[in-house]
A and B are shown apart, each in its own frame.
Chain A
Amino acid sequence: DAGVTQSPTHLIKTRGQQVTLRCSPKSGHDTVSWYQQALGQGPQFIFQYYEEEERQRGNFPDRFSGHQFPNYSSELNVNALLLGDSALYLCASSSIELQLLVPGELFFGEGSRLTVL
């Protein structure tokens, strides 16, 4: 049973470029959340997708956008990259049913480490 998978694992971009990160949730999960973790900080919530719609959003600018596909996989897009966007981007999956059983249990992927030069 594959866990949450993310790609790419590492990437380097320059300021002003755009990036797309991808995530496949754990089997049986239908909800995908994205978090940004800067060095030495805890993960910060970006947004969550359920049924192909953005369900919740954190305090991130519109440069951060996303998408969920019918197979529950998801993409995170960041436009006009800034140096401060350098971070580990974590995808986490869950399901509505799981949240009822164990509220707050998210399954994280290993992340995509983005460096902006």
Chain B
Amino acid sequence: RKEVEQDPGPFNVPEGATVAFNCTYSNSASQSFFWYRQDCRKEPKLLMSVYSSGNEDGRFTAQLNRASQYISLLIRDSKLSDSATYLCVVNAQKSSGDKLTFGTGTRLAVRP
């Protein structure tokens, strides 16, 4: 079983749609959780951290369910510029170590 599992997609949605991505992780000792965004043939960039209480950044909402080992990302009012691959990322390190485990990524294509 992969440490971090995601539906690879692609998700094809019209502009303005709401889309949700899910991710599960296998290591119950995982300490911190993130969503990274990777544009085609570019480097990954941190989109947002994910907290148990849920957190929101504009049109983006991330949620963590530790009991189910499940992470989600909700994008509201999709824009063409949201088209990218969204990587679910887990850090099992309790210390400040940053050995990140990435999922395969979920590809999003927003159409006009």
* Across-interface contacts of A108 in B (CB, < 8 A): 43-45
B49's partner among A44, A99, A102, A110 (CB-CB below 8 A) is A102
Q: Given A104-B32, A104-B34, A104-B89, do A42 and B43 touch, yes or no (CB 8 Å)?
A: no
Interface contacts (Cβ under 8 Å), in number, total 66
Which residues in A have their C-beta under 8 angstroms from that of B8? 40
Contact flags (1/0) for B91-102 with A, using CB distance below 8 Å?
100001111111
Shortest beta-carbon distance from B57 to chain A in Å: 13
Whether A42 contacts B46 in the complex (CB less than 8 A), given A48-B98, A58-B99, A103-B91, comes out as no
| B104 interface residue (CB < 8 Å to A) | yes
- Take A90-B44, A104-B34, A110-B42 as given contacts and tell me if A42 and B103 are in contact as well, using a CB distance cutoff of 8 Å: yes
Q: What are 9 A-B residue pairs whose CB atoms fall within 8 Å in the complex? A: A31-B98, A42-B105, A44-B102, A102-B46, A103-B31, A103-B98, A104-B100, A106-B100, A111-B43
